[in-house]
A and B are shown apart, each in its own frame.
Chain A
């Protein structure tokens, strides 16, 4: 007796491959949304160079006190007015130094708010002295 041979289909089933691949795509898409990798960058002064090279008279001094209110060159000023105060000075001298001193009891957000605003205005020379630097250079330290 002759047994009829069934012809096997000569195909690799690849239809589910696309499904698997699209699942992986969705995974990586979602994963990329959830990672926080952005922020504001700045350079710390090199250890051997004087941190406050600019004369304090020529620089704009911004102080943030413990409750987050600002004093710019010894005058109280709301955050929104900094742009109007700095813009003409930066136009005259684009490399004008700005010294940002934050009270040690101020919340971190108060400092980043001002930092952000200064970056928006386009300050290139931003100095953020730490408290021991201020001591070294004999500058006034905020309480």
Chain B
């Protein structure tokens, strides 16, 4: 039997209309899950196997190898801080508003423990309770 071919030519179009919808959904997903690093001071973080996610919006204390400090309340980028006493006053500003606000210590692995000890002491006196030490996991860049 001879089958009559349809006179209408088949449309050679790939339907791409929903592609953008899917792509935008993925964008929104990645936007929400991406936590920007507020501190971009280059340093070598200590390496640990144990790793927990720090909370979003935590205050950051960055300590470089030469012992200078950078601080951020967790909203804006970090700014340089002059010495331990100014750091103490900004830390107190944060703990006065919320004692449970998390502090993230981002310190270079070569820094002397003397500096960390001083910072921990000031944090304790300011009433901070929740502290995290930022580290690099195994096999991470």
In the assembled complex, B107 has its CB within 8 A of some CB on chain A: yes
Chain B interface secondary structure, helix, strand, loop or mixed? mixed
Please give, as numbers and ranges, the residues of chain B lying within 8 Å of A73 by CB-CB distance: none
In the assembled complex, A139 has its CB within 8 A of some CB on chain B: no
Q: Which of A18, A38, A106 contacts B135 (CB 8 A)?
A: A38
A35 touches B16 (CB 8 A): no
Tell me the bound Cα distance from A116 to B52 in angstroms.
12
Size of the chain A interface, CB-CB below 8 angstroms: 48
B52 touches A38 (CB 8 A): yes
Q: Which of A31, A35, A105, A107 contacts B109 (CB 8 A)?
A: A107
Count A-B pairs with CB separation below 8 Å. 162
Please give, as numbers and ranges, the residues of chain B lying within 8 Å of A35 by CB-CB distance: 34-37
26 A/B residue pairs, CB under 8 Å, sorted by A: A14-B17, A15-B16, A18-B16, A18-B19, A24-B23, A25-B26, A34-B37, A35-B36, A35-B37, A37-B37, A37-B56, A37-B134, A38-B54, A40-B48, A40-B132, A41-B133, A44-B123, A102-B117, A107-B110, A108-B109, A112-B47, A112-B48, A116-B50, A128-B120, A130-B121, A131-B121
